[in-house]
Amino acid sequence: MILPVETSEVAGGSAGPLEGLRVLEMAGLAPVPFGAMMLADLGAQVLRIDRASGYAPPPGPLDRGKESITVDLKSEAGAGLIRELAAGADVFLEGYRPGVAERLGIGPEQLLQLNPRLIYGRMTGWGQDGPLAARAGHDINYIGLSGVLDLIGRRGERPVPPVNIMGDFAGGGMLLAFGVLSALYERERSGRGQVVDAAMVDGSSLLSTFLHGLRADGLWERERGDNMLDGGAAYYDTYETSDGKHMAVGAVEPEFFFQLTAILEIDDEDLGFQIDPTTWPAWRERLAAVFRTKTRDEWAEIFADVDACVSPVLSPWEAHDHPHNIARSAFIDVGGVRQPAPAPRFDRTPTATPRPLNHRGTDPADILAAWGVEAGNYFGTGTGLK
């Protein structure tokens, strides 16, 4: 039985451009939680479904703004509860291997029959088809196959995994959120839902589109770590300071490079034109020697008001203290954990500060009531809710 729900009840009255949007998230690791977090940050009502058996990730920043219940998906009542929730949802998100959701009775065919307007988002590493579709993998595997991992690293050294940001988050969860919002926009015209197949191998490959263009124009032909944007160019690299920290230099354009050399008091008459790759080793040696004469914070203060594209390399745990990030409130506290604030920003429908998981309590009956679902039929052993 679906009960009517007032808009004011949705997500506890959260503000944001997605207020009133209902999202069901099947609990998982990294990509799906991040995509759902982005939607929750913008005001969507997100309900995370935890499985009664199997690994459950501990609550954290990716769960902010959400509520959760634990459901026995192996029981018919549990699958029935998911179907009932999906019947009143706008978006359904899952990150299972292809075929798993269908076996649980909550695949796209089953749910779209109940709710033809549903946007069914599927997040995988390899995609829903292809010879690797059923294979296990992690971020490093997906960006390896997409060609992105080969781009990252120093000259003559092996590729370096960029944590798991490139596949899980940028090419994964963010791609999923983008696909869902695109499908929602199309639904305004057609009135119909559809399946979004978001694959990390596709998303990470998409992120390298610009570099494919550079290569086609003959501007990216050198080996890894020897090109203008991968640490090969002396004017686009990091430099160690006297305290073992680093400064980031991105003085690509001549006017910025001129400011850089002026501040560093480097006479460039004997070093040659900055864009010429043959000059990069000499430039790097000279720049490195100067940057090693002061601490990172001393250099940061020197370059603070200079248009030279030079900035300190901050750790994620100190970035919140930088004056620019303070001025923009770029970091917030949620449940005692400092973390990045929602982005982007909206002038008419600003987002609210996210609240911790289950901020309105953990009673499944109350949580389901906010979705217009009566919980009575789903309580008890083997009947769905745990």
Cβ-contact 249, 236 below 8 angstroms: yes
Strand partners of residue 332 = 339
Q: What is the three-class DSSP state of 34?
A: helix
Does 307 qualify as catalytic in the annotation? no
Amino acid 2: pLDDT: 34
> Into which CATH architecture does domain 236-240+246-312 fall?
2-Layer Sandwich (3.30)
Q: How many residues does the chain have?
A: 386
Would you kindly state where each structural domain of the chain is located, as residue ranges?
7-207+339-378, 236-240+246-312
Does 321 qualify as catalytic in the annotation? no
Which 8-state DSSP code applies to residue 274? T
* Residue ranges in 207-316 assigned as alpha helix (H): 209-216, 254-264, 280-291, 296-303
Residue of 50, 138, 322, 359 marked catalytic: 138
Q: What is the three-class DSSP state of 24?
A: strand
**Model-level pTM?**
0.91
CA distance 155 to 209: 22
Please give the structure tokens belonging to residue 384.
Answer: 């769905």
Phi-psi region of 269 (alpha: psi -120 to 50; beta: other; left: phi over 0): alpha
Please, what sign has the CA dihedral across residues 186, 203, 340, 319?
Answer: negative
Cβ-contact 101, 107 below 8 angstroms: yes
Residue of 168, 202, 230, 237 marked catalytic: 168
Nearest to residue 33, comparing CAs of 16, 50, 12?
Answer: 50
Domain 7-207+339-378: assigned CATH number:
3.40.50.10540
CA distance 361 to 169: 29
Per-residue pLDDT of the chain (386 residues; tens, 9 = 90+): 333 333 333 333 348 999 999 999 999 999 999 999 999 999 999 999 998 876 667 789 999 999 999 999 999 999 999 999 999 999 999 999 999 999 999 999 999 999 999 999 999 999 999 999 999 999 999 999 999 999 999 999 999 999 999 999 999 999 999 999 999 999 999 999 999 999 999 999 999 999 999 999 998 988 999 999 999 999 999 999 999 999 999 999 999 999 999 999 998 767 777 889 999 999 999 999 999 999 999 999 999 999 999 999 999 999 999 999 999 999 999 999 999 999 999 999 999 999 999 988 889 999 999 999 988 777 654 556 76
Exposure of 58 in the CB half-sphere (CA atoms within 13 A): 1
